[in-house]
């Protein structure tokens, strides 16, 4: 966020008591045996060992032979895990539908080596609350495999969360890839400055963000100046530890945002950054869901100098968290240089000397038109880019929304799988804060009753289209 909001400095708000969220006691995945499901053109058998329950379904070797389950689930993204055996050497694809909607035209059920050797095939899908109709139907004349069971790992169980599905991320070429090496797009929210709006990040708001909003990640925006980290490093670091645990408990990715802004030269805060990131990486480096955002919006500083900051801070993080993706702020307030009279070529021609890194891009659709849009589009073909902050209004985070321009950005980012993060999940009075003033800390944070127009719009775009992360 580039605009100073000095009038809102509210000393003393930081460090309010926090209860660390514990995963629900009812967390459990449910397995549904095929032999108890509805079988069309197939028979229940038990002549090949290794099945669970009392048997398995031998689907007829014909197009359309199928098994239909009707599991109860929580609303949201879930992983569907089919246990199967295929004693042939040939794939036995099945079409998977959920409540009549196709989630996979031909899920792969490869040969397992023997009819007694059972494996899993998984696909992600959006489930509704209550009963869901899940059908696996053979798509070729060779029929499906022998089907043992369906396990539904839904969001209520913690199993179908973005982190459970995607695991440790890494940069592959110019994309962000999941644990299966497949490119993904993360869509999430940023907090406002934690020194100003700590009351908007609590168990209820995080439950809503993960469940009702279907966010994949939360960026924890920790300012350094303006009443932020520098005023009490111990307290801010402890708060970050607690928030990382709370977000992680809900299966979302965390972007740890070192929100330097004024002064614009990140070297000004390098020693502070080393202290902070060393401790964060040490404590959380073994988690699969941490991304480090090491310089929010460098400005008034040439790229060549920002690059030397990145090359100074990266080793501090790598020492304790060698495999994390590190996000690197670009010149011109994260505009890949455009707002400082530069361009993405400055970065492309002088890249940071490190691997598993992405460059950040920020935009505000009310201020930043085609020049910025085209910059993002061009850059994303050449270097890994992660949009760690954007708004649908002007660069102040306030003013009229431009949803038409915002949609152009979202379409581009969907097409190129550029991850994005919307500013901001707070009840600040400005138009870019999703909640009406006074919503925090009590909520409600789910639904639309407390949302400003930008909040309604962005929540819609987080929920739809639903995540469809590749799992193979």
Catalytic residue numbers?
Answer: 297, 389
Paired strand residues for 379 = none
**One-character DSSP codes across 146-159:** EEEEEEEE-GGGTT
CA distances from 409 to 184, 344, 363, 469 (A): 17, 17, 9, 21
Q: Identify what 259 binds: Ca ion, ligand GCU, none; CB under 5 to 8 Å per kind.
A: none
439 binds, among ligand GCU, Ca ion, none (CB under 5 to 8 A by kind): none
Helix, strand, or coil (residue 172): strand
Is residue 112 part of the contact set for Ca ion (CB under 5 A)? Answer: no
Closer of 53 and 87 to Ca ion (Cβ): 87
SS3 173: coil
Piece of the chain touching Ca ion by CB under 5 A; list 138-146, 230-238, 264-272, 419-427: 138-146
Q: What are phi and psi of 315, to 5 degrees?
A: -60, -30
Packing angle, helices 370-380 and 403-415, rounded to 10: 10
Residue 110 Cβ vs Ca ion, minimum distance, rounded to whole Å = 15
Instruction: Tell me the angle at which helices 233-248 and 270-284 cross, rounded to the nearest 10 degrees.
Output: 40
Stretch that binds Ca ion, among 56-64, 168-176, 199-207, 427-435 (CB under 5 A): 56-64
Q: Is 86 in the site for Ca ion (CB under 5 A)?
A: no
Which lies closer to ligand GCU via its Cβ, residue 85 or residue 184?
85
Closest distance to Ca ion from the beta carbon of 50 (Å): 16
**Minimum gap (Å) between residue 109 Cβ and Ca ion:** 11
Task: Please classify residue 21 by burial: count the beta carbons closer than 10 Å to its beta carbon, then call 0-12 exposed, 13-18 middle and 19+ buried.
Answer: middle
Residue 402 contacts which entry, Ca ion, ligand GCU, none (Cβ below 5-8 A, type-dependent): none
Interaction of residue 149 with Ca ion, rule CB under 5 A: no
**Which of Ca ion, ligand GCU, none interacts with 401 (beta carbon under 5 to 8 A by kind)?**
none
How far, in Å, CA of 379 to CA of 360, rounded? 11
Cβ atoms 190, 257 nearer than 8 A: yes
Nearer CB in complex with ligand GCU: 68/140: 140
Shortest gap between Cβ of 43 and Ca ion (angstroms)?
A: 9
Which C-beta is closer to ligand GCU: that of 61 or that of 436? 61
CB-based closest residue to Ca ion = 58
Nearer to Ca ion, 71 or 145 (CB): 145
Contact positions toward ligand GCU, by CB under 6 A?
48, 58, 61, 115, 143, 146
Answer with the entry of ligand GCU, Ca ion, none that 115 interacts with (C-beta below 5 to 8 A by kind).
Answer: ligand GCU
Binding flag, residue 396, Ca ion (CB under 5 A): no
Residues with Cβ within 8 Å of 162's Cβ and at least 6 positions away in sequence, in order, are 77, 186, 216, 217, 251, 252, 253, 467, 469
Q: Which of 58, 161, 296, 439 binds Ca ion (CB under 5 A)?
A: 58
For ligand GCU, the closer of residues 91 and 168 by Cβ is 91
Q: Which residues, numbered 2-31, are part of the site for Ca ion (CB under 5 A)?
A: none
Q: How many CB atoms lie within 10 A of CB 199?
A: 15
Query: Locate tokens 């801070």: which residue?
Result: 313
Q: How many residues bind Ca ion (CB under 5 A)?
A: 2
Q: State the nearest-atom distance from the C-beta of 44 to ligand GCU, in Å.
A: 11
Query: From the CA atom positions of the chain, what is the Rg in Å?
Result: 24
CB 331 within 8 A of CB 306: yes
The secondary structure of 415-450 as a DSSP string is: HTT--EEEE--S--SSTTSSBPTT-TTT---SSSTT
Rank residues 112 and 422 by Cβ distance to ligand GCU and give the closer one.
Answer: 112
Q: Quick one: tokens of 280?
A: 């964060």
User: Which DSSP helix (H) or strand (E) runs through 219?
Assistant: strand 217-223
CB of 45 to ligand GCU, least distance (A): 6
Can residue 138 be called a binding residue for Ca ion (CB under 5 A)? Answer: no
- Least distance from ligand GCU to the Cβ atom of residue 146, Å: 5
Question: In the complex, which residues of this chain contact Ca ion (CB under 5 A)?
Answer: 58, 143
């Amino acid at each position: 966020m580039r605009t100073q909001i000095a009038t809102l400095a509210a000393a003393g708000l930081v460090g309010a008591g926090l209860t660390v969220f514990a995963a629900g006691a009812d967390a459990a995945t449910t397995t549904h045996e095929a032999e108890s499901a509805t079988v069309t053109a197939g028979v229940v058998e038990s002549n090949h060992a290794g099945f669970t329950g009392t048997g398995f379904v031998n689907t007829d070797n014909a197009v359309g032979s199928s098994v239909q389950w009707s599991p109860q689930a929580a609303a949201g993204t879930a992983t569907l895990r089919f246990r199967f055996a295929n004693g042939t050497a040939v794939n036995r694809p099945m079409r998977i539908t959920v409540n009549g909607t196709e989630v996979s035209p031909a899920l792969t059920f490869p040969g397992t080596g023997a009819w007694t050797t059972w494996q899993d095939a998984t696909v992600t899908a959006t489930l509704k609350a209550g009963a869901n109709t899940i059908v696996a139907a053979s798509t070729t004349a060779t029929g499906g495999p022998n089907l043992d069971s369906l396990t539904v790992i839904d969001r209520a169980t913690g199993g179908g969360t973005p982190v459970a599905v995607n695991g440790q991320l890494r940069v592959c070429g110019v994309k962000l890839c999941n644990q299966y090496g497949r490119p993904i797009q993360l869509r999430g929210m940023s907090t406002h400055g934690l020194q100003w709006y700590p009351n908007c990040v609590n168990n209820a708001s995080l439950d809503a963000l993960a469940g009702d909003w279907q966010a994949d990640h939360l960026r924890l925006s920790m300012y350094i100046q303006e009443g932020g980290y520098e005023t009490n490093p111990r307290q801010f670091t402890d708060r970050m530890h607690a928030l990382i645990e709370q977000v992680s408990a809900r299966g979302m990715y965390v972007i740890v945002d070192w929100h330097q802004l004024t002064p614009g030269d990140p070297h000004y805060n390098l020693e502070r950054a080393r202290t902070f990131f060393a401790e964060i990486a040490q404590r959380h480096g073994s988690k699969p869901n941490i991304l480090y955002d090491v310089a929010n919006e460098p400005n008034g500083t040439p790229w060549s100098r920002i690059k030397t900051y990145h090359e100074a801070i990266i080793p501090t993080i790598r020492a304790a968290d060698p495999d994390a993706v590190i996000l690197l702020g670009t010149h011109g307030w994260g505009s890949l240089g455009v707002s400082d009279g530069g361009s993405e070529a400055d970065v492309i021609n002088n890249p940071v000397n490190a691997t598993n890194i992405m460059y950040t891009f920020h935009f505000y659709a009310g201020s930043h038109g085609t020049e910025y849009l085209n910059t993002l589009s061009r850059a994303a073909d050449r270097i890994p880019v992660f949009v760690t902050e954007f708004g649908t209004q002007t660069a102040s985070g306030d003013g009229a929304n431009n949803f038409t321009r915002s949609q152009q950005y979202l379409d581009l980012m969907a097409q190129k799988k550029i991850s994005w993060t919307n500013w901001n999940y707070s009840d600040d009075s400005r138009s870019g804060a999703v909640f009406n003033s006074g919503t925090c800390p009590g909520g409600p944070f789910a639904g639309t009753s407390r949302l400003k127009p930008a909040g309604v719009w962005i929540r819609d775009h987080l929920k739809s289209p639903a995540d469809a992360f590749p799992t193979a």
